[in-house]
Chains A and B, each alone.
Chain A
């Protein structure tokens, strides 16, 4: 019963206090920090170290928003959420923004009363198997036991994939990612499935990571991005443009290191750094909002390199490379 108590409390919170005011930005400025919903620990995306400091590409979205609003990227409080708690926490107003490797789907964008502000990581679902199983392709997985986490899109994708290819399977779904990893490590399942980025991240938690490999198959589209409540366009814009600022900065070659020397450069860079135009004002934040983001958090490429391209994850940019370099990361211009 204890397990559902928190969900019950959240549901009743939703029932009673769902009348959170529409002006989230004013509320956030009033309380002095951004309340950010993150994962319970997913290396590279949102994880905390032994001192309790959070880091990761999802965490960087929240830090960017705090930098834009307060000129202080540390003005963030984090709420670790399980997959099944996350949407209720956002709907009920317990958090201001959900930046927790969350897939953008039609249901979530409509029936859940949420809005996805953009995509900060293009992912796809994959499979992790033991090397000694001798499997090289997901189509050889007929009859396998598959471990995954409840309350995610992966449960549906895996069922679609196996049924579409007429393969038998049994699904074993746990509530927390750590339990999935422990059960997979103990041999309960032949396969562990989640988003590929997650597989690389979780593999580092296994007893012997080198004995496992990620299969090449990608069975779904998983665009991950920050989420806000419907009906507050201003807050939606702040979230969306905090992400776009980071992507635009990378495209223009502005980094946290060279931002000083880029000041007073070409017109586009001037607009980006708030030396020209009134873009910050239009957003409801300071004129130098984007300069604050880049100098305190860094551009998209820096965030990616710092969190994902380092050992033990070593995730390459792939489709998350900028559109100008062959990827699909693309941000509308600041003008």
Chain B
């Protein structure tokens, strides 16, 4: 007996319920079952109740004819299009205002945030006033302010302001000439694509060369030359296959050309300005998080204020800036749904407004809308996380 015990390794008998691995799997399985069955109960209950009340269900409505007009659409759309297409129009309008808003808000925000740190008393206090005003007024009020400010400040179509040839501004929007591409224009596009690729390749090569030899290369001048020169060359070769459609006043309104509606302008301006006030504070916090010693060291190396900010401070500040910045991008995208108040036809206005009312299928439409916003937000998050990982301080 004694011999046997001492021979093998000490056998520790762990019962399954004492094994941490088994326990964790067990509890996760229980949680999963509870969540899934709760979801199934909700789904079944909803379906049964809708059935009992005689309310139509399902997604067949997406294929039926919409029958209503939408003021601005990035893709082809008419009253004969389906609800599905109207949904796509609304979604693209949401993405358009979110994308342009994020770009504008970032530029204004970085500018104001750095201005707040300026040693110039006037500039830093102007930036402070900007931040305090715009982040403390509810966004919906700002949207109304810009919308009615834009509408009331601009003249009626018959008294339009004419800035340049074919550019008209009135309270129905900004009318621009639109380009009509003729045969052979694709060559110009290809020239542009080739130029972009060439610039990317050249930048990499210049970086490698600088790393290896220390020699600098004036990438910027060559890039501009390539980007403008190649397409221009293609235009000349193909004989300018491009004509302009000039908007003209016919009856009540301008006809032809491209129009940027005041609803878009008001929404874009208010979203950008509002979000920029938060971004400015994030940028300020990020820059202040970089130790002052870095500035002193950079000055000691002989760098002036500009390169110090660009090459030393901002790259380190970005680590602190990017995570809260992502939240602001998400906020901006979701806030774009306030557009429904001023008739900009984005997702909420078109889909959960008009289409919901015409079909009455609230559960389906709200579910789709929530899924869409969730997807947009998760995509932005994924991109920002990737960018954050790329920018993170490499520990050596």
Contacts and interface: CB of A to CB of B under 8 A. Distances in A.
B252 A144 contact: yes
Nearest to B153: A186
Interface in B151-175: 151-152, 156, 171-172
B250 A143 contact: yes
Contacts of A144: 251-253
A176 B253 CA distance: 25
A100 to B, nearest CB: 13
Interface size of A as a range: 35 or more
Nearest to B366: A11
Contact of B252 (A107, A143, A147, A188): A143
Interface stretch (B14-22, B308-316, B333-341): B333-341
Given A107-B358, A170-B253, A84 B353 contact: yes
A11 B49 CA distance: 13
A230 interface: yes
A179 B338 contact: no
Nearest to B156: A187
A169 B335 CA distance: 29
Contact of B251 (A7, A108, A142, A159): A142
A88 interface: yes
Contact of B68 (A7, A83, A147, A159): A159
A230 B338 contact: no
Contacts of A1: 334-335, 337, 373
A231 B362 contact: no
Given A159-B67, A173-B349, A8 B370 contact: yes
B42 interface: yes
B389 interface: no
A183 B53 contact: no
B348 interface: yes
B349, B363, B366 pick with most chain A CB within 10 angstroms: B366
A186 B151 contact: yes
A242 to B, nearest CB: 23
A170 B343 CA distance: 12
Interface in B228-286: 250-253, 255, 262-263
B362 A88 contact: yes
Interface in A170-187: 170-176, 179, 182-183, 186-187
Contacts of A151: 353-354, 356-357
A14 B335 CA distance: 25
B50 to A, nearest CB: 7
A155 B343 CA distance: 13
B292 interface: no
Nearest to A2: B338
A3 interface: yes
Interface of A: 1-4, 7-8, 10-11, 14-16, 18-19, 83-84, 87-88, 91, 107-108, 110-113, 133, 141-145, 147, 150-152, 155-156, 158-160, 163, 168-176, 179, 182-183, 186-188, 190, 229-231
